Amino acid sequence: MSKPEFVYVTYIATTPEKLWNALLDPQETEKYWQHENVSDWKPGSQWEHRAFDAARTLRLKGRVVESVPPRRLVLTWAYPDDASPEEKRSRVTFELEPAAGVVKLTVTHENFQPDSDMLDRIREGWPKVLSSLKSLLESGRPLPKLW
C-alpha cells in the first residue's frame, strides 16, 4: 500500500455541501485559489486546473478517480505536458467529514514521480490554498492573492 507524502487537515465552520461546492465551483475557487477546476466531475472524466488569466492558462490536468459528493473526491494530478499513464501520476484525495458544527477537510497527496518538482511546489501551495479556503468560508473574505 502506498504511503502519502503529504496530509493536510483543516477544520472549517461550514457544511459539507458548501465546502464541496467551494472546491468545485469556479465562482468560489476564483476567490481563494485564483484558479478554476473544470470538469463534469464524473468518475473517469478529465478535469483541468486553469488560471483566471485572459488565456485561461492550463496549469494541471488529470482524471476524476472517485467522486462521492459531498464526502470524497479523488483526482489524479499532473502537469499539462505529462504523458505518463494515469497510474504513474500523483493523486489527490479530498475527504470531508462533518463533526460538531465544523467539517474536517483532509487533503492527501501521494504517488509523486521521483524526478518531478511537483512535490516542492505543492508543499508551498496546499497550506496557502487551504487557509484561504477556510478564511473565505468562515469570514466571507479570502486571504490576499496567493500567487
Q: Which residues of the chain form contacts with another protein (CB under 8 A)?
A: 1-11, 106, 108, 127-128, 130-131, 134, 143-144
Smallest separation (angstroms) from another protein to the CB of 25: 22
Inter-residue contact 147 to 132 (CB < 8 Å): no
* Residue among 11 and 52 whose Cβ is closer to another protein: 11
- Kindly give the residue spans of alpha helices, DSSP state H, lying in 38-117: none
How far apart CA 142 and CA 69 sit, in angstroms, is 23
> Minimum Å distance from CB 80 to another protein?
27
Least distance (Å) between residue 85 CB and another protein: 23
Q: Which is nearer to another protein, 27 or 139 (CB)?
A: 139
- Return the number of the residue (35 or 109) whose C-beta is nearest another protein: 109
Give the strand pairing for 90-99 and 102-110: antiparallel
Min dist CB 136 to another protein, Å, is 13
Cα-Cα-Cα-Cα dihedral sign, residues 77, 121, 60, 88: negative
Question: How many helices and strands (H and E) does the chain possess?
Answer: 3, 7
The nearer residue to another protein, 7 or 68, going by C-beta atoms, is 7
